[in-house]
Chain A
Amino acid sequence: MSTNKKFLKQKIKNLVLVKSKSAVVDEKTILKETLEKMVFFKIGIACVVNKNNVLKGVITDGDLRRKLLTNQKPWSALLNDDSIDHCKNKPITIRDNDSLKKSIDIFRKKKVWDLPVLDKKRKLLGILHLQNVLNIIMKNN
């Protein structure tokens, strides 16, 4: 097997951007604090989890752009809303034991930049960022 094929088979769990370096918030975190976390980590996605760390949804830069165009509430009210009220409930995710190749397929087909990485109980392990994957590809070529 060539080196290229080997690295494509490696498991996602070894590549994940850990939770401490991602924007992860609980359901009752207000939208303003979620945005602050996204800004702090310079990342276009926030993961909303329940108290058991199960992923309940995500908020992305795209969601926020659409919100900008449709929101009718005063901004102060929107920023005080719970994040869970504004997140995408069925986000595109990837399992920790999936391969790097599978993640590349998802990034290409779904045109997303970030993938929440889950274990078999849907608990959030972290984020797989497209940039990480590109770095790995460049290193192996």
Chain B
Amino acid sequence: MKKKIIKIGSGKIKKVLIGNQKPLVFIGGPCAIESKDHAFYVAKKIDKICKSLKMPWIYKSCYDKDCRSSLSSFHGVGIDEGLKILEEVRNEFGIPIVSDFSDPSDADLTGKVCDLIQVPAYLCRQTSILRAASLTKKPIHLKKGQFMSPWNMKNSVRKIEEFKNKNILLTDRGTFFGYNMLVNDMRNFSIMAETGYPVCYDATHSIQLPTSMGNISGGQREFIPSLVRAAVSCGVNALFMEVHNDPKNALSDANTVLDIKYLKFILSQAKDLHIKRLELQRKYGEDNVHK
């Protein structure tokens, strides 16, 4: 299977290439857009870190959190205000933007602002969502549902291809292990990479304990560094983490977002491991152990 490289970004902003032997890409930001000031604050912090590491990156934040466990949880700033803020972040920092949508009617507007369109994990096999995302003609960040096997993700990939979009990034964000618990099966990256598309590891959602606290989710952030190292060693092309300057008071995913003060510590190791893995690949060749 030929390994594909996808290009994110257009116009004046920096183009980010993901796949094959390209540098590891970071995708991150606050889970939800909280305000323009906060979006800019976090973007500036990440930009500084990624510039110092020479790591390409994509800003991620959502305007509509439609999968919250509770009606009383923060639902988001809404599409109009959210996309306006994302566009301003994009223009200010010259970086690509990714965000998701949960209603097909929001796809068109989202696609006009975002460089990468995210399909939420819970909706990863919804044909109407996949069709709407494909029709934006932007690359698609397709998250593996927590209930999905990695090999079944090919069905969603095929749907997107049928809708004439062949720029896909596949992400593992954990798999249900009984109730209220996710685990990472490190085989998932190789299996999803068999589609030919690049693969990504979502560390902060993988350590989530879904709805473990009654009507909100818990999380075990202490596992993020070791899981990131494992995933990068397995050959992921991109790394996804939601970050916040004050996790305890984050309006969404407060128990899983990574405190931004740890970001450089984790990305530095991830970058070094990625470079080392590529060196090993060049020295010893591709993994080709027989089935």
Contacts and interface: CB of A to CB of B under 8 A. Distances in A.
Contact of B149 (A28, A76, A81): A76
A72 B152 contact: no
Size class of the contact patch on chain A: under 10
A76 B152 contact: yes
A80 interface: yes
A69 interface: no
B170 to A, nearest CB: 15
B147 interface: no
A1 to B, nearest CB: 54
B291 interface: yes
B7 interface: no
A61 B191 CA distance: 27
Interface string B264-291: 0000000000000000000000000001
Contacts of A28: 158
A105 B281 CA distance: 50
Contacts of A76: 149, 151-152
A80 B154 contact: yes
Interface in B199-252: none
A84 to B, nearest CB: 11
Contacts of B291: 72
A33 to B, nearest CB: 12
Contacts of B70: none
A138 interface: no
B155 A80 contact: yes
Complex A-B, nearest 8 residue pairs according to Cβ-Cβ distance, in ascending order: A77-B151, A80-B151, A80-B152, A76-B149, A80-B154, A77-B149, A76-B151, A28-B158
14 contacts: A28-B158, A72-B291, A74-B149, A76-B149, A76-B151, A76-B152, A77-B149, A77-B151, A77-B191, A80-B151, A80-B152, A80-B154, A80-B155, A81-B151
Given A77-B151, A77-B191, A80-B151, 11 more contacts: A28-B158, A72-B291, A74-B149, A76-B149, A76-B151, A76-B152, A77-B149, A80-B152, A80-B154, A80-B155, A81-B151
Interface of B: 149, 151-152, 154-155, 158, 191, 291
